[in-house]
Amino acid sequence: MLNFAINNEAIQGGVPIPLLTNNPNIGGIRIMANLSIPKNQSRKQDYIGRKFGRLTIIKNTNIVGHVECLCDCGNRKTILLASIKSGHTKSCGCLHKEQLRARNTTHGKRHHPVTKILYGMRSRCLNAKDKQYKDYGGRGIKICKEWEDVATFFNWAIDAGWKPGLNIDRKDPNGDYEPCNCRFVDDGLNSRNTRLLRVDNASGYRGVSFKKKNNKWVAQISINSKRFHIGLFETAIEAAKAYDLKAKNLNAGYPLNFKEN
Q: What distance in Å separates the CA atoms of residue 190 and residue 186, rounded to the nearest whole number? A: 6
**Segments making up each domain of the chain, as ranges:** 39-92, 96-192, 197-261
Decide which of 156 and 261 is more confident. Answer: 156
Is pLDDT at 146 greater than 90 in this prediction?
yes
Bridge partners, 217 (sequence order): 210, 233
The distance of Cα 127 from the centroid of its chain, to the nearest Å, equals: 33
The CA-based angle 143-146-150, given to 5 degrees, is 90
Domain 197-261 has CATH 3.30.730.10: yes
Q: What distance in Å separates the CA atoms of residue 149 and residue 198, rounded to the nearest whole number? A: 35
Is pLDDT at 19 greater than 60 in this prediction?
no
SS3 223: strand
The distance of Cα 46 from the centroid of its chain, to the nearest Å, equals: 32
Task: Identify the weakest region by mean pLDDT among 4-13, 101-110, 117-126, 206-215.
Answer: 4-13
Q: What pTM did the predictor assign?
A: 0.40
pLDDT digits (tens, 9 = 90+) for 185-202: 765 455 445 555 555 566
pLDDT digits (tens, 9 = 90+) for 159-178: 888 888 888 888 887 889 99
